[in-house]
Amino acid sequence: MMSIDEAVATRRSVRGYLPDEVPQDRLRELLALAQLSPSNCNIQPWITHVLSGPSLRSLGDKMVAAAEAGIPPDPDFPADRKFEGIYRARQIDAAVQLYGAMGIDRHDRPRRDWAYRRNLDFFGAPHAALIFLHHTFEEREAVDLGIYAQTLMLLLTSRGISSCAQGALGLYPGIIRDHLGLTQTHRLIFGISFGYEDPAVEANRARAGRAGVEDAVVFHRDAARA
């Protein structure tokens, strides 16, 4: 079994998968462990729907068809924020890494659109976890979803299962709700595609960088600021 350090250091977003499914009992074991994630007042606000097989593929087909038909996305949470300053620089760096690995020029709009649309078919993954938030909840509970998601992704990593968190899966929540028989009470921020990495997929050669601790963390020790 991997150490927590190894799981954190080796987890990365994988955007191309082999068709092999994760055994159902393993999946249940990891989802049960992820239930131990902490949450504000222990309300455990995540509502997770795991899709596999024909259910997953037909949902992917519906979302890709919507995008190709030019149907505008209608996300439950705003997804069109423009980043600025260092955040924009980090976004560009990640895009350069990803599109570079795929041999796509960052300014080649048609091929970038094609690459982005792969999100909607779960990058060919055999499974996806769609993580919903009850409509009465806001940012505080969304934090809990993030913690839960990272717990799940680290557990997957520790068992050799790759994943990719995808805000893009929240672009067509209406299609997803119809597919799953859910109502507007379930709001979708993101999902996680997961399965076994296909090492032949070019996108999987991308490696995203990180800011150093000195750029992200401020240490305080003095009793009062001067």
Ligand X SMILES: Cc1cc2nc3c(=O)[nH]c(=O)nc-3n(C[C@H](O)[C@H](O)[C@H](O)COP(=O)(O)O)c2cc1C
Residue numbers at the binding site for ligand X (CB under 6 A)? 12-13, 15, 94, 119, 164-168, 190, 208
Q: Which is nearer to ligand X, 119 or 179 (CB)?
A: 119
d(CA 213, CA 78): 29
Q: How far is the CB of 6 from ligand X (least distance, A)?
A: 14
Give the residue with the Cβ less far from ligand X, 28 or 90.
90
Q: How far is the CB of 107 from ligand X (least distance, A)?
A: 19
Question: Least distance from C-beta 224 to ligand X, angstroms?
Answer: 36
First to last CA, the chain: 48
CA atoms within 13 A on the CB side of 112: 11
Catalogue the E-assigned strands of 20-118. 47-52
Q: Which is nearer to ligand X, 172 or 190 (CB)?
A: 190
Q: Please say which residue, 30 or 165, places its beta carbon nearer to ligand X.
A: 165
Shortest Å, Cβ 196 to ligand X:
16
3-state secondary structure of 35: coil
Structure token pair of residue 127: 């499974």
- Token pair, residue 147, equals 């913690």
